[in-house]
Amino acid sequence: IVEEAATRGIPVMAHAHGDEGAYAAVAAGVKSIEHGTYLSDSTLRLMKQRGTWLVPTLSTIVDLTQPGGDYDDPVLVLRGQHMAPRIEDTIRRAHAMGIRLAAGADTDYGVESVTRISHEVMRLRALGLTSVEALATATSGAAELLGIGARTGRVAEGYEADLIVLEGNPLDDPAWLQDALIVVTNGRVALNRLPFGRRAVR
């Protein structure tokens, strides 16, 4: 399946928490590993050699540990408590090896979801990525992984782009990403909350 998809230019991504399945998927030629909670150094080295991406979905795993989230289940709370420190270790080792990371969420990302890509950027930054690296996981890096980096993922002439205006600089603090004041999509303003924090002039 992986080889056939590759001939069509379709990136194949593999869901894998465990190391053995992830290693087999990387050896078969997948484009990325989603989660990768328990990856060994040998699997990470193979990922580096093959150019395989890691999409850790750390925020989703953290969500497992917290009641009232997207996965509100006491059994998953216990599972998440075991998984969270291990995936954080995997992320640190992958980053140190130079493996490309992309931000992702393992939910339907609906209006009632409490997990957001901004949380992933914040957590990746806290684990040692630079501000630029962390932002790239959700923009240019994600577009490259999905095979659409030649037309979106960055602000440049001729590129498709959704733009947001924030109150502060996310390079200083990625937490600013949580509260967009203006959203521009497909060439039109979809949300405008300005002036923000000022009383309307009558």
| pLDDT at residue 6 is higher than 80 | no
Q: How far apart are CA 196 and CA 68, in angstroms?
A: 30
Question: Mean of the per-residue pLDDT values for the chain?
Answer: 91
pLDDT band at 112 (very low <50, low <70, confident <90, very high): confident
Q: Where are the alpha helices (DSSP H) in 51-163?
A: 58-64, 74-97, 117-126, 131-136, 140-145
pLDDT at 19: 97
Work out the percent of the chain whose per-residue pLDDT is above 70: 93
pLDDT band at 2 (very low <50, low <70, confident <90, very high): low
pTM above 0.75, yes or no: yes
Q: How far apart are CA 21 and CA 36, in angstroms?
A: 10
pLDDT at 131: 96
Q: How far apart are CA 38 and CA 18, in angstroms?
A: 5
pLDDT at 10: 73
pLDDT at 99: 98
One-character DSSP codes across 64-80 = HTSTTSSS--HHHHHHH
| pLDDT at residue 198 is higher than 90 | no
Minimum mean pLDDT among 38-52, 151-165, 184-198: which range?
Answer: 184-198
pLDDT band at 124 (very low <50, low <70, confident <90, very high): very high
21-69 pLDDT, tens per residue?
999 999 999 999 999 999 999 999 999 999 999 999 999 999 999 888 8
| pLDDT at residue 201 is higher than 60 | no
Q: What average pLDDT does the segment 9-21 reach?
A: 89
| pLDDT at residue 8 is higher than 80 | no
Contact 56, 93 (CB under 8 A): no
Copy the structure tokens of residue 145: 């992984």
Q: How far apart are CA 154 and CA 50, in angstroms?
A: 25
pLDDT at 197: 59
| pLDDT at residue 87 is higher than 90 | yes
